[in-house]
Chains A and B, each alone.
Chain A
């Protein structure tokens, strides 16, 4: 029995990102609406221009704790009653903060949208921050910090950032704070963060789903149109006013290898990279394509090398973490302890190779066709479209950014990819960090001679250095 010949593709059907309408209320609240009328649901995302970079020094974790405790009380209800009310409406709800923004988001059936949004608006505007519940959330974070020390993947991520960025830089510490900073957080800190940063003129409401732009604007105006804060619009203590110092200041500009000792570990968690570039860098798209070829895809050089050729690992990938400031470029993998140094050598070889010569047309096409092709798949859901629109707000992307994305990504050439590799991969300042059994891995790593080699116990926090 023989196969039918390999099929040729049919004709691509047109696809468009949902049409987006923007508006602004008199008090400064921005409204972004994208109708997706396919199913009777809607996602609402309140994006506040206040992320963890605005945390005061020594109070790291304030933005995240503030967001997480929004739902602990509002509208005269305590946290339990509030969640009961939301969940009885079938609302799927989350509040969090990342580096650049705080957000409250919900997905709900449109039949219950009005009632759910009334509560949602109260939570955003006037949370009560009960002392006991804020303390409970804070203590949960302290418990999670203890868990992180026992969890190799999380510990590797945490320590990589800690060694990569300068100990005075915000990016050196986790968004949700450290063992030193979190115990200093309480309801007063959350209340102050909320008062300073959650304001009509720093807030965008993104509404995606089975609603018209008119309905969405009316909904937001009804519940948030009379939102005002002391000092009014323009008195914001937001990003521009605070000037918190460069969150992305690197620790040092030389090669360095760090072993975080986890005696007896059967695997090493490896992180290799350096400080990358801000999301707003003009090379963003060539970097995305370059990274897809290097380690972003299953069929990328690093994964095929480490997993399929050498069987060192279950998987390996590389990523540029996009933020307003320069997030890390990092290669991540977990490898059998005995081959830790071999795996690191292969990662360095692939980074060097990316810089040495342009990739083939076929490799670039694999990446660009993948990135362009999966675009409609990525935006099947209301929540995904809302997330994309949040990024558009955060990075002030032009209105046609999503519509033109596929054409722009397909225009990336091997020459552009090579230029991005040369400009944005820098082997001379790589940090290689391994969480693993130092007795097995330190000597082979040292033999690679990748700058200085340091070995530390798992509980050594580099941001606490004198």
Chain B
């Protein structure tokens, strides 16, 4: 094959069709026939933020219950049927959403849709006390594994707790406390299901190799008869002041070998004005070997073994930009934090340079194209945008939105968000002062 005979590279735009069933289920279709694989992805707009007091961890425990069968599916049969069909699957819970997804050989699309519809329509007949007790123990073991028996494992519940006021829906632990997990009942399961697992509180995305007319018919057949819910109960107040108004600080002695510092800042919510600048600011600071933090702390000063920066991508109230760094042996937490703060202050005072921004953008572009390769990743992105912004096709403007941000804009955002009155430090130190 010669270069001239080569077909032109397909557009990197994701073709998006979006519509709504009469029961309120939003459906996104994104056709791509490159390989015979299709991804099914459901976002329910509910997460730990929607939990009631005394039930921390319930949204995630409930996610486990969704694999315990439904009226026409036995316990764990969901996993078995998908795997037997040659597919992969899982689910995950986040602060304000829960997702469930299958990637299937394309001729098995309807099985995935049927399974998702059966549990959206008819979960409760399959729920038993025994299943709840088992999954409660599984989740408690998940907590021990990912949080309690893991160095620095508590960071992802301590940091939100530090950054959001106690009454805020993002304040409390996503994995939940042992006490609250113990208190969860079958009545809680039924109430949570009826309230949140309704078609009008969900987005269904199908991406990959399928026939749109056939997919629409399958979706109408399996999801169409499911009754609309009673409406989304309002979240607690999500708004917080744009800044912390102070420099918050928490020091945590833990069973760790080296100090680690997290430094968080409130930034505009995911997708809002200014968010892309915040995302690029995070990339300039801490994405890649050429980033500010890695260069300064790891390479030049040798005070850290690693450093990075990222956003949490929270779409409500405020997002967080987080820097983290782990100390080299012999470097104290104070020295590490001082070095980290110095780099942040440098960006705050002098802004970012155009070549740094170009580096961040180029990295992002490659990551974006790489991410488009997988049907599952495309589907999840589309569900995310449909859930948060009502419009999945907005995904296709994302690269242009990033590219439109210039260095003065990022520098101005840095001046706005990186100041001393908008910081939260979470500092892990070896217990016993090792």
Identify A4's interface contact among B114, B289, B358, CB under 8 A: B114
A15 → B minimal CB distance (Å): 5
| Contact A92–B142 (Cβ < 8 Å) | no
Instruction: Known A311-B138, A314-B142, A376-B37; judge A90-B366 contact (CB<8 A).
Output: yes
A307 CA / B67 CA spacing, docked (Å)? 13
| Contact B225–A1 (Cβ < 8 Å) | yes
Q: Does B404 contact A (CB under 8 A)?
A: no
Q: Give the residues in chain A near B118, CB-CB below 8 Å.
A: 3
Q: Give the residues in chain B near A71, CB-CB below 8 Å.
A: 289
Instruction: State which of B74-82, B182-190, B341-349, B381-389 sits at the interface with chain A.
Output: B74-82
Instruction: State which of B102-110, B245-253, B311-319, B415-423 sits at the interface with chain A.
Output: B102-110
Interface residue tally on A, bucketed by range: 35 or more
| Contact B209–A13 (Cβ < 8 Å) | yes
How many residues from B make CB contacts under 8 Å with A? 94
Complex interface bits, A81-94 against B, C-beta within 8 A gives 1, otherwise 0: 00110111111100
| Contact A314–B145 (Cβ < 8 Å) | yes
A374 CA / B85 CA spacing, docked (Å)? 9
| Contact A40–B9 (Cβ < 8 Å) | yes
Q: Does A358 contact B (CB under 8 A)?
A: no
Identify A9's interface contact among B107, B329, B372, CB under 8 A: B107
B429 → A minimal CB distance (Å): 13
Instruction: State which of B44-52, B146-154, B230-238, B405-413 sits at the interface with chain A.
Output: B146-154
Q: Does A41 contact B (CB under 8 A)?
A: yes
| Contact B79–A151 (Cβ < 8 Å) | no
Q: Does B375 contact A (CB under 8 A)?
A: yes
Complex interface bits, A37-49 against B, C-beta within 8 A gives 1, otherwise 0: 1111100000000
| Contact B36–A369 (Cβ < 8 Å) | no
Q: Give the residues in chain A near B26, CB-CB below 8 Å.
A: none
A74 CA / B83 CA spacing, docked (Å)? 47
| Contact B107–A212 (Cβ < 8 Å) | no
| Contact B1–A38 (Cβ < 8 Å) | no
| Contact A139–B370 (Cβ < 8 Å) | no
Q: Does A322 contact B (CB under 8 A)?
A: no
| Contact A383–B370 (Cβ < 8 Å) | yes
| Contact A298–B79 (Cβ < 8 Å) | yes
A57 CA / B299 CA spacing, docked (Å)? 30
A312 CA / B105 CA spacing, docked (Å)? 33
Identify A143's interface contact among B3, B110, B329, CB under 8 A: B329
Q: Does B144 contact A (CB under 8 A)?
A: yes
Q: Does A203 contact B (CB under 8 A)?
A: no
A8 → B minimal CB distance (Å): 8
Interface pairs (25), CB distance under 8 Å: A3-B118, A6-B111, A6-B114, A9-B107, A35-B1, A40-B369, A41-B366, A84-B290, A87-B363, A88-B362, A92-B363, A143-B257, A213-B1, A214-B1, A215-B3, A266-B144, A266-B148, A299-B79, A308-B76, A311-B134, A311-B135, A311-B141, A373-B104, A380-B37, A382-B373
4 A-B pairs closest in CB distance: A373-B86, A90-B362, A311-B137, A13-B36
Q: Interface residues, chain A, CB within 8 Å of chain B?
A: 1, 3-4, 6-7, 9-15, 35, 37-41, 71, 79-80, 83-84, 86-92, 107-110, 112, 133, 136, 139-140, 142-144, 146-147, 149-153, 210, 212-215, 265-267, 297-299, 304, 307-309, 311-314, 334-336, 365-366, 369-370, 372-377, 380-383
